[in-house]
Structure 1
């Protein structure tokens, strides 16, 4: 079985991906020596190059998509949220981690550019994909905020300086806002998928992607109900969020990884 990656066959897009990944890598390496304004500038340049990489992939004829481009879009959405939030909360710090995330996501999409889609079975399918990717991005942003919340809480308990001076309650509130928004978009994604399955396949298709997506939806719903009715917070809430995000990751990304890399099928 051939497990070797398939590199992008679009030289300009490959060059652009390399430059975007290099920009993120430079930020990850040099951020301790950069001023806040310089860091924001380098991150903005890397973010813009990343956007151009995504656009070049989607504008190919035929367009390509797969597990790695999905992760790349998700990482870009998380970075978009971070750039907006740093304007509102300048004390938020997670640049090194997000720069590494951007580097890995761009390079992964360069090595595994996905499968070509010469024709769409429905003109509405891009809406379903957009809702799904948006839910990935919002839930990934919730995971990042939960991770930052854990690090800040641990630093407080140890009496050390935290990576972020943003109050814990603010981080917690932001985390659950992203969970709620991601849950809403995931609900819309599942409804759209159910409608498309009924239209195109004459019935709901229970495959691995659907099963894991429904499990993620149930887990996120339980988390929100637990927060609302039982006041869940701290480790219980964070662990439940991680489980739900893991199910969602196994949905599209996991199933496409198996098809594209392990089974070599498109």
Structure 2
């Protein structure tokens, strides 16, 4: 199996980033909230440097692991903004471990160069898709927080000052709606501008695994939003549909690229 070899600078930045995330996660329980935020902020900045180096280098590469790395960074970005408004959110350690794992995975599997016949607009198209990944990832994190809070309530162990369940629920659906808009734009661009984006000879969608799973994910999120508005879906029902849609979306690009890059050892974008 032939894998792209990351540059020494990329490896050094990645290791430093993973170490910073690991420190924020491991020492978070012993540090003050402010100190933990500073440590996580440093890791976030290093992570941004890693992503920038990978996307604007002499030979930009992309693949399933970089997609996961960008998604993790976007989720952390959402948390950084949201924690200013809701300091009661207690998910720093989990997100720090997620960031460390995503960065290390991207070092091992740095992706493959973008196709030479692809349009200069392809990175923007990919950015829209990955941005939707990040927003749905944030929605999944909030859904998990709701599940954890409900469990704490049942066990009578809910700490004082937590974010109210209704607030978490509203935030979850706001992220779902925003992600749905971006996913819709990504699919529409792929349908209307496939020749321009990919240099393809066939217009419209190419019905491969990526497209099929993306459309199935879009339908799942559409059903979730309709169920929310029309039938007032909430609780376990809404979370199960959200998790199903997120899993399908993960399989769409990350799953298909994993099979191509690792299982089949191919590099087609």
TM-score tier after normalising by the smaller chain length: over 0.9
Alignment counterpart, residue 29 of structure 1, candidates 18, 26, 29: 26
**CA 1:33–1:251: 2 relative to 1, 3 Å:** same
- Note the alpha carbon deviations across 1:62-115, whole angstroms, 9 max, x for none: 101100000000000000000001111111110111011000000000000000
Deviation at 1:163, TM superposition (A): 9.6
Q: Are 1:178 and 2:175 an aligned pair?
A: yes
* Pairwise CA RMSD: 1.5
Measure, in 2, the Cα distance between the counterparts of 1:155 and 1:214.
36
User: For 1:29-178, what aligned pairs fall within 5 Å after superposition?
Assistant: 29-117=26-114, 119-162=116-159, 165-178=162-175
* TM-score, reference length from structure 1: 0.95
- Note the alpha carbon deviations across 1:151-180, whole angstroms, 9 max, x for none: 011101110135970000000000000000
Q: Is the 8 A contact 2:4 2:111 kept in 1?
A: no
Measure, in 2, the Cα distance between the counterparts of 1:139 and 1:163.
28
Aligned residues: 263
Q: Determine the structure 2 residue equivalent to 1:202.
A: 202
- Note the alpha carbon deviations across 1:200-231, whole angstroms, 9 max, x for none: 33232100000000000000000000000000
**CA 1:164–1:10: 2 relative to 1, 3 Å:** farther
What secondary structure is seen at the aligned counterpart in 2 of 1:257? helix
Deviation at 1:126, TM superposition (A): 1.9
Alignment counterpart, residue 184 of structure 2, candidates 183, 187, 198: 187
Deviation at 1:118, TM superposition (A): 5.8
Q: Is the 8 A contact 1:114 1:260 kept in 2?
A: yes
- Note the alpha carbon deviations across 1:139-162, whole angstroms, 9 max, x for none: 000000000111011101110135
Measure, in 2, the Cα distance between the counterparts of 1:174 and 1:189.
23
Superposition misfits of 4+ residues, deviation over 4 angstroms: none
Q: Determine the structure 1 residue equivalent to 2:257.
A: 256
Measure, in 1, the Cα distance between the counterparts of 2:159 and 2:208.
43
Measure, in 2, the Cα distance between the counterparts of 1:260 and 1:162.
45
Q: Is the 8 A contact 1:31 1:96 kept in 2?
A: yes
Q: Is the 8 A contact 1:138 1:182 kept in 2?
A: yes
Q: Determine the structure 1 residue equivalent to 2:215.
A: 214
Deviation at 1:19, TM superposition (A): 0.3
Measure, in 1, the Cα distance between the counterparts of 2:57 and 2:254.
21
* TM-score, reference length from structure 2: 0.94
Measure, in 1, the Cα distance between the counterparts of 2:5 and 2:99.
18
